[in-house]
Amino acid sequence: MSSFKDLLKTIELELGQQQFLGSPSNLYDPLNYIIGLGGKRIRPVLTLMGCELFDGQLEKAMPAALAIEIFHNFSLIHDDIMDNAPVRRGKATVHEKWDSSTAILSGDLMLVKAYEKLLKSEQKYWPELLSVFNKTAAEVCEGQQFDMNFEKQAHVSEAEYLEMIRLKTSVLLGSSLQLGAIVAGADQVNSKKLYELGVKMGLGFQLMDDYLDAFGTPELVGKKPGGDILAGKKTIMAIKAMEKGGTKFTEILKNITSSDEKKIEQTKEIFSSIGADVYLKGLSERYFNSAGIILRELEVPTSKKENLAKLLVYLQNRSF
């Protein structure tokens, strides 16, 4: 069993050797650029972990692991256009560095390349792999559309928000694990359990992200806090604040004489005063716990589960 760190190294090595080559260069350069920006690489590592859990050889999982990372980066390129985001991992986003049209098109190409990479997996697993991949890819689109719709929607319920982040973020983590299990020859019951584990982990992960966006230490998180607050995102904390804080909360952001810093500070005070931060952390914890329970139930030797168990604890307690 390899540790997260070992697997990460393997992934980075593979990604370093991957070059998207083709013409015109301004179509292919963005693919290499965004992959080169780095990232946590959680998804491909999960695929390798899913494979190791069921005694698979890592090489067999590599195409699926890379396909997942390529897919994830395709979605980042397109999301950044839609969110009008100028910066990604401290560098210019693709549509900023090139232009929107190039970003749309190189994103499209990257989606095709994700399929191409996935199909380097053993052929006998194609039906299962492609079925999971197609379903997940569609769901990620659905999640992003819900996210955009919610921005314009006056009211969003907690259940709706959770379903949105399940689609937008969590299913891809679930699939990452599941694809690894599939190429290791795991049976459907176990591979689906692993998927569920990943989805719960993803929900816990995203909720933690939401918490850190407001209450994280900027130096650790690596970006200015309060982005979600200023964007008026209807996160779980905002939903709670709307329920309990009502008008007062929604009016903070509308105050044009108030600075961004002040808006963030005032909003965080409301979040804390009604216990929305504690509620959110508790919710995240519950999802991580659910993931832990599924892991314990999984029919593989306990020794095999250690690394994934460690990862769950690590992600749950992260402050970055």
221 binds its own copies (CB under 8 A): no
Shortest Cβ 59–its own copies spacing (Å): 20
Helix, strand, coil fractions of the chain, as percent rounded to 5: 75, 0, 20
AA identity, residue 113: K
Selected range binding its own copies among 138-146, 215-223, 229-237, 260-268, rule: CB under 8 A: 138-146
Specify the residue, 115 or 279, whose C-beta has the smaller distance to its own copies.
Answer: 115
90 binds its own copies (CB under 8 A): no
198 binds its own copies (CB under 8 A): no
Cα 28 to Cα 19: distance, rounded to the nearest angstrom? 9
Specify the residue, 23 or 303, whose C-beta has the smaller distance to its own copies.
Answer: 23
Specify the residue, 102 or 170, whose C-beta has the smaller distance to its own copies.
Answer: 102
Q: Which of 116, 187, 260, 306 binds its own copies (CB under 8 A)?
A: 116
220 binds its own copies (CB under 8 A): no
125 binds its own copies (CB under 8 A): no
85 binds its own copies (CB under 8 A): no
Which residues have C-beta within 8 Å of that of residue 14, sequence separation ≥ 6?
62, 65, 66
Selected range binding its own copies among 141-149, 233-241, 242-250, 284-292, rule: CB under 8 A: 141-149
C-beta of residue 109 within 8 angstroms of C-beta of residue 31: yes
Other beta carbons within 10 Å of 25:
10
Sign of the alpha-carbon dihedral angle for 176, 180, 185, 187: negative
Shortest Cβ 23–its own copies spacing (Å): 7
188 binds its own copies (CB under 8 A): no
300 binds its own copies (CB under 8 A): no
Cα 215 to Cα 236: distance, rounded to the nearest angstrom? 14
Place of tokens 């709307």: 242
What SS3 state is found at 91?
strand
AA identity, residue 204: G
Shortest Cβ 128–its own copies spacing (Å): 12
Place of tokens 């030797």: 301
Q: Which of 126, 265, 274, 281 binds its own copies (CB under 8 A)?
A: 126
92: enclosing H helix or E strand = strand 91-92
Q: How far is residue 7 from each of residues 44, 58, 197, 291, 310, measured CA to CA in Å?
A: 9, 9, 19, 21, 14
Q: Which of 6, 14, 96, 142 binds its own copies (CB under 8 A)?
A: 142
Reference 222, options 43, 311, 99, 91; nearest CA is: 91
18 binds its own copies (CB under 8 A): no
105 binds its own copies (CB under 8 A): yes
Interacting residue ranges for its own copies, rule: CB under 8 A: 22-24, 26-27, 78, 81-82, 100-102, 104-109, 111-113, 115-116, 119, 123, 126-127, 130, 134, 137-138, 141-142, 144-146, 148-149
